[in-house]
Amino acid sequence: MQLVSKVGVIVLWIVLMGVPATGHAALVSRPDPVAQSAVQQYVNEVADIGEDEDQHGVWLQSEAGVLAQHQGTVPLPAASLTKVATTLGALQAWGPTHQFVTLVDATGPIQDGVLRGDLVVQGGSDPFFVTEDALVLRQSLQELGLKRVTGKLIISGNFFMNFTTNPVFSGKLLKQVLSPPQPRASRKRHRPVAPPSQPLTIAGPVEVVSFCPPTQTSLVRHRSLPLFKILKRMNVHSNNAMAEMFTAALGGAPNMVQMAALAAGVPPYDLHLINGSGL
């Protein structure tokens, strides 16, 4: 696979289990009439809409060998199926049941539900930390009896929320869930309505730091879904942001390619990818 640019619609159907380490040249050809018909149908549809057939590659393979292919040995952009390599690299590095951990600590003492200090969130590169996770985190803090933070919400490490890699924006999103703003009181004279319960108040702003400050109390260890479930969501929705988060956590595209090649049993020089998403 080679990623150059997105030219047309690139379709690659790949099964990378059991591929010999010598690359595609050593694969046994196992022509399958159904597979060949499917490939030819796709190529015909490409031509019918005016696309250049030469800019499309299809590769159908089982552990037994190559079932059918169209320009399968011609380097072409892999587009979003670059995520196949990212998936393999992540599984090779961490294993299918790995969970990313987000730590929440306090820099000061907690008395009568009041943290006299800062609330520190240390990101663990979880690419699927979303609003629901923040709600679970809020509930965990509430169950500990925490009601108010006199200091700031400090973000350190690789903390992402709702598929954004901007730590400031992610921190603000988190604060909105942990400490939602109270509605302003109405000036109209109606019968008083009890304000909604607010489990946590954070007095200070969001601050992003390069190094985690010294903490006094460990509060919550929030674990992500198992890796295989996160990868399934990334691939089903072709989530580019998640793919790039995985690639960064693996140490960048070159390291991701090395891990993917190791997992697939193919030479690293057969994979030419400039990122983990296919953008």
Question: Residue 215 sits in a domain of what CATH number?
Answer: 3.50.80.20
Residue 276 located in a structural domain: no
Same domain as 207, residue 133: yes
CB 101 within 8 A of CB 197: no
Residue 87 located in a structural domain: yes
CA distance 100 to 71: 39
Residue 77 located in a structural domain: yes
| Angle 161-169-131 from CA coordinates, rounded to 5° | 30
Residue 215 located in a structural domain: yes
Same domain as 204, residue 120: yes
Q: Percent helix, strand and coil across the chain, each rounded to 5? A: 35, 20, 45
CB 136 within 8 A of CB 173: no
* CA nearest to 72, candidates 95, 49, 42: 42
The rounded mean pLDDT for the chain is 86
**Helix (H, G, I), strand (E, B), or coil: what is residue 248?**
helix
Give residue 238's pLDDT.
96
Same domain as 73, residue 146: no
- Position 16 pLDDT exceeds 50: no
Residue 3 located in a structural domain: no
Question: What distances in angstroms separate CA 52 from CA 44, 48, 49, 56, one per listed residue?
Answer: 11, 10, 9, 7
Question: Predicted confidence band at 123 (pLDDT cuts at 50, 70, 90)?
Answer: very high
Same domain as 236, residue 217: no
Same domain as 34, residue 113: no
Q: Which domain holds residue 111?
A: 101-181+197-224
Q: What is the pLDDT of residues 176-196, one digit of tens each?
A: 999 998 766 555 555 544 444
Residue 6 located in a structural domain: no
What pTM did the predictor assign?
0.77
Biggest CA pair distance of the chain: 82
Q: What is the pLDDT of residues 259-270, one digit of tens each?
A: 999 998 889 888
Give residue 20's pLDDT.
37
Work out how many domains the chain is built from and give that number. Answer: 2
Same domain as 160, residue 122: yes
**Averaged over 62-72, what is the pLDDT?**
90
**Averaged over 73-100, what is the pLDDT?**
94
* Of 195 and 90, more confident: 90
Same domain as 124, residue 108: yes
* CA nearest to 175, candidates 145, 144, 150, 154: 154
Give residue 198's pLDDT.
58
**Averaged over 154-169, what is the pLDDT?**
96
Residue 70 located in a structural domain: yes
Residue 195, sorted as left (phi over 0), alpha (psi -120 to 50) or beta, turns out to be beta
Same domain as 156, residue 209: yes
Same domain as 260, residue 201: no
Same domain as 152, residue 57: no
Give residue 63's pLDDT.
84
Residue 11 located in a structural domain: no
Same domain as 133, residue 219: yes
